[in-house]
């Protein structure tokens, strides 16, 4: 079954070979249904496609094009298609135009020659931004609906305060709502619920009416969360936010909840009305976006973006605890020979197996990341001495030859590893990675299938 398309992307570039390059680099994303690409060689053609097609989430615009340049096209797109997000593409020396584009409303940019790994990360970051904006628009509409309901209830309840039937008559307005509705007294005792409440939570009305709303509590939140919720209600008469509750089945689920206080005839607080939506599907979709944005699509390992964050945390921990940290830059020797002789499928399978081997060789506190192509990077935390790093890397090389004996014999593959150490070789993450990279090349020059420490 075809997956839900995450993004329809229009590429506008006057270079004729761009189409084949994108289709080759994003072949797996296209086959999986994640991305749909459309192409135009000029601005006028792009506008025609945008007018005649379904909405596009992203437009990739080359700045330097004849007839209609990227900046002019950007202005037209933002004016006519405000829900489309633009990513600019240009050469490194064209920073003035890039700044103009960003100031005019472009979301991000990439430089030529394009690093398609970085472009993929940029696309997923853009999609995550679009998702959050869509969520905000959705929540604003629900907030407006709840405020309108508040006004309706105030009018209806002004003449119907003597018994519960008055509340039920008011609630009848929402009998067919998709959102769950719960009415409580000021102590949180449930007075009435609508059918959507029962459909979402699994509780029939008699099972919850007369009980406190804590019957739904998931125990996922700390007590301070509920304290802030009630303080907001008491002080402002309104609270809105994400909360995790528990269904009758025991399943814990996320919901977006809006609560409003209803005042009685004397303008005194009388009851609370909560309207909520099960956002499990949206949370799953958000997690899918985040996973793709921060993890390598082939191996599932952290990509460079997540690696940077993990390395920053590890360095801060090492400095705080006065520990040694090792960065190991790994290159797979003779990997091109695998692709040339056995095909790209065999190469991909090998990279996936090596990724699992590296991950299984680490502790939970360490990090294995795919740096790009046939390169991996390990962050080894909490080392007491430099000898600990050497013991680990020797064990890693031995384990690799045992695990991949057939591949070693058939394709002569091996690992070349460069190592840099914190704090001995530096304290800044990017610099330590660069030093480990240099040490890896020294290992290759020394005959491959070995490791080298950086030596300045």
Residues recognised as catalytic: 374
Q: What are phi and psi of 266, to 5 degrees?
A: -95, 15
Q: Is the peptide bond before 348 cis (omega within 30 degrees of 0)?
A: no
CB 259 within 8 A of CB 235: no
Q: What are phi and psi of 333, to 5 degrees?
A: -70, 140
Strands 252-263 and 85-91: unpaired
Taking the CA atoms of 273, 278, 279 and 280 in sequence, report the sign of the dihedral they define: positive
How far are the Cα atoms of 150, 164, 311 from residue 143, in angstroms, in the given order? 10, 26, 40
């Amino acid at each position: 079954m075809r997956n839900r398309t995450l993004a329809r992307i229009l590429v506008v570039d006057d270079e004729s070979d761009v189409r084949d390059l994108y289709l080759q680099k994003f072949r797996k994303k296209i086959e999986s249904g994640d991305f749909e690409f459309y192409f135009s060689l000029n601005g006028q053609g792009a506008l025609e496609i945008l007018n005649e097609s379904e909405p596009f989430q992203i437009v990739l615009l080359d700045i330097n094009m004849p007839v209609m340049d990227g900046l002019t096209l950007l202005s037209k797109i933002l004016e006519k298609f405000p829900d489309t997000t633009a990513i600019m593409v240009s050469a490194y020396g064209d920073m003035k135009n890039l700044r103009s584009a960003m100031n005019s409303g472009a979301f991000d940019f990439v430089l030529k020659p394009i690093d398609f790994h970085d472009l993929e990360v940029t696309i997923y970051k853009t999609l995550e931004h679009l998702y959050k904006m869509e969520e905000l628009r959705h929540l604003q509409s629900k907030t407006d609906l709840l405020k309108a309901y508040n006004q309706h209830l105030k009018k209806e309840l002004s003449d119907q305060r003597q018994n519960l039937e008055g509340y039920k008559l008011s609630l009848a307005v929402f009998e067919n709502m998709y959102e769950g509705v719960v009415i409580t007294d000021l102590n949180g005792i449930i007075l009435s619920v609508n059918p959507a409440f029962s459909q979402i939570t699994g509780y029939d009305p008699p099972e919850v009416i007369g009980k406190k709303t804590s019957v739904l509590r998931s125990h996922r939140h700390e007590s301070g969360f509920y304290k802030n919720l009630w303080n907001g209600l008491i002080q402002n008469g309104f609270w809105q936010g994400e909360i995790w509750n528990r269904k009758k089945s025991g399943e814990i689920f996320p919901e977006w909840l809006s609560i409003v206080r209803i005042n009685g005839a004397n303008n005194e607080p009388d009851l609370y009305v909560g309207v909520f939506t099960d956002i499990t599907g949206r949370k799953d979709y958000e997690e899918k976006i985040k996973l793709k944005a921060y993890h390598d699509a082939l191996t599932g390992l952290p990509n460079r973006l997540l690696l940077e964050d993990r390395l920053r945390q590890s360095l801060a921990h090492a400095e705080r605890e006065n520990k040694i940290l090792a960065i190991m830059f790994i290159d797979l020797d003779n990997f091109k020979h695998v692709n040339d002789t056995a095909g790209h499928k065999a190469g991909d399978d090998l990279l996936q197996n090596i990724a699992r081997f590296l991950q299984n060789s680490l502790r939970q506190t360490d990090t294995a990341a795919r740096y790009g192509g046939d390169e991996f990077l390990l962050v080894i935390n909490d080392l007491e001495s430099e000898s600990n790093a050497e013991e680990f890397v020797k064990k890693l090389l031995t384990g690799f030859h045992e695990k991949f004996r057939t591949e070693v014999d058939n394709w002569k593959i091996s690992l070349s590893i460069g190592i840099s150490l914190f704090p001995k070789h530096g304290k800044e993450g990017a610099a330590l990675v660069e030093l480990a990279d240099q040490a890896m090349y020294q290992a290759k020059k020394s005959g491959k299938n070995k490791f080298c420490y950086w030596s300045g």
